[in-house]
Structure 1
Amino acid sequence: MHSGSIAPRYNSQLDSNDCRARGGAAFFFCKKKANYRERGGESADHVEIYELAMRQPGFLVNGIRILYVNDLPIDLNWGDSVKLVKRVCVTMICMATLLNSQVSFATTLAGAKQQAAALKNQISSTTLQIQQDQVRVETLKTRLGLINHSLQNVRVAMSANLAHMRVVNHQLVVLGKRIKVNERQLTTTRTELQGQLKTMYEHGTVSYLQVLFQSTSFQDFLTRLNMLVTVANAGQALEKRFQALKQTLAVQHRQTVSYYGELIHTQVSDNVLQQADVLLQQEQQQSIQSIQTNMSNQQLRHGELESQLQLTQQQIASIEAATARAEQLMHNTTYVSQTVAGMPSINLQNMLKYAEGYLGTPYSWGGTSPSGFDCSGFTQYVFAHSGVSILRTSEQQFAEGVSVSYPNLSLGDLVFFSTYAPGATHVGIYIGNGLMIDAQDYGVSIDNISNSYWGPKYLGARQLVK
């Protein structure tokens, strides 16, 4: 005999437009109380819970479950279920509101733990990123300090160089003036010497020889000759002195001009360095600002992740608490027996024969017809042919019926596997002798559920019919 936890099944007599099968403990929430049939009972609580759940968009839609026991769906008696689902609905709605409808809550205990682990990894990654950004900011600030120091030194050097250029420029002006003064003095001295010679003769038009020949005596001749020699020597000495001064001033002027050129070159070079330092300064400041902005975003994200983790941990605690309460119900053999007794009774051999008629039908992701099936689309199609309506996805189907242990598998049981992701991601129909018929990548086929591929991925089984 099958045993395990149960969940009320969809009543095929219900109008699908008025009654929706929702997840959680696989309860039915009906728009019209009169259309609800569950063990012959009707209650206003049904509509109340449905309305409460539907206030939060996306909550309890498409078979998302509320409570699980070790990845297996559980159920409580209807009175306890009403109270429990109300509490869970309110909790889930509040958590979704806190996260601005951005947190995707896990639908199983394993999923919640997996989500918590993922959040912890993200928090660790975010913390590491923040720490790395802090190191980068400190490094950039150190570089910026060096650049600022270099920029300050360049500006001080440019200021000193500019002051020196003003001094040298003033020296050039002074030298220019001295050269002009020297030239004027030389011209004046020459004129004065010529004037002295003119006094030696009457009209100033005779030559030196005429001055000598006009002497009246030998003594006068010597006197005149001595005067001419003195004037000539004085003129030559003065000419040499002025020429030497002129040359000295010219050398000084050239040197000063050259030095002034060097100062200009230095000023230009310092200006280039200043511009380079300013650009580096701006780049470093922009980098620091960018990293600090990223750090702020990371810190905000870190806070959000911690909030999500806290809420997920609260969710795990709620699920585990509900699990502890539900485990007591799993041992209620009377309850299980009554539920099994209320299951649809069909000809299992005919259903399996019908299923085998589709062997070789190609696989199609999301397929629900003979033109192409996916795994849960195939099981839903086969059960529907026998008048039994089940939910659409393998994860939803895993929430239906009664849990079946591996040794107690019987014909028509749904067998579930965890393949590409955690949870019930594949489903087949058990046909006996350790075999199942299922729609997989190669199409509808018969497989051994304990072979090297399917065996390690086996998750559990559910009885939906008898």
Structure 2
Amino acid sequence: MRKKMISLIVTIGLVTTLSTPIFADPLSDKLNNQKSQLEEQKSAYKKAQSVVDNIEISIEKMDADIEKIFADVHKTEVKIGETQQEIEKTKKSIQVAEANIKEEEDLFNKRMRSMYMNGVDSYLEVLLDSEGVEDLISRVENIKKIVEYDNKIIGELTVKKSKIEDQKVALDAEKDKLVVLKTDNESKIDKLKAKKAEQNVLVIEATKQEQLYSSKIGDAEAIVNSTMKQIQTIRNNAPKYTPSRGSSSLSSSSVVAYASNFLGTPYVWGAAGPQYFDCSGFMQYVYAHFGVDISRTTYTQINDGTYVARENLQAGDLIFFGSESDPHHVGMYVGNNSYIHAPRTGDVIKISALTRSDYLTARRVK
């Protein structure tokens, strides 16, 4: 009996030993296949995300270029307006000068006519009609003063008229240059708009590719959702939004809470709120609410405040993207490796994960 039991145990052990590889290999293969598919999905998602990020960055750069051109166009229009005002002032000055000259000439002609009607043909005849030496000397002095006065007035007015006319010619020439510059700038804007239209087609396609994988792997989306929950908590504890300017106390939580009130606001070039914003206009508007004055453009805001290393970022810090020679985008760090920003044309103010490759630097303004 004992021998039978031992034999049975040995037999079961052999069967188990022999059967284990039979079941282990298919399970291992299935797990490896799943891992491989997951890695492929991750890789495909990253590629799609990279395509979208690169196109988004390109559009942001073009938005920045358009903003610069718009600024140049605005400056040109201001100059054209100022020049036009100067031209109008010059025209009026010329009219006044011409009227003064005509008035003096009329006065001079009246004196000559009066002399002729009284039988006097010239200043010489006036002198010859003098009665005695004293009368002659008196007439000479008077005639001399009249002649000097006439010559002085007419001479001054003529010089003034000449200078004003020269000024008008110069202003007209300057105006022509400014109009040419404005036309050139508008031509550049048209070209940039055409390029943006081409890129928007690519954005749509890249976004489609991203959506194919976003339901399976959405690390960036998960970060944003987590950040939104945190911001909602901050908003609940922060003072309610009011349209007042420069009246609220500044803290990391309050500035983030205030900025979040504008989520969904459309991006528009050169807009500084509150119905529309560009990236730098949004930052300026938010900080102005707390009485903090920062400059208007990305290219100048990058010099505002003090430098902050990426590992030391705090909510409320301005973060910049691009290169040292071309910082083309700015947003506000809100914590949890995320930032709020006005992204680009066709988009709205939103929170994004801080995963893009063109991070440049950060500044802290207080």
What TM-score, normalized to structure 2? 0.46
Larger radius of gyration: 1
What TM-score, normalized to structure 1? 0.37
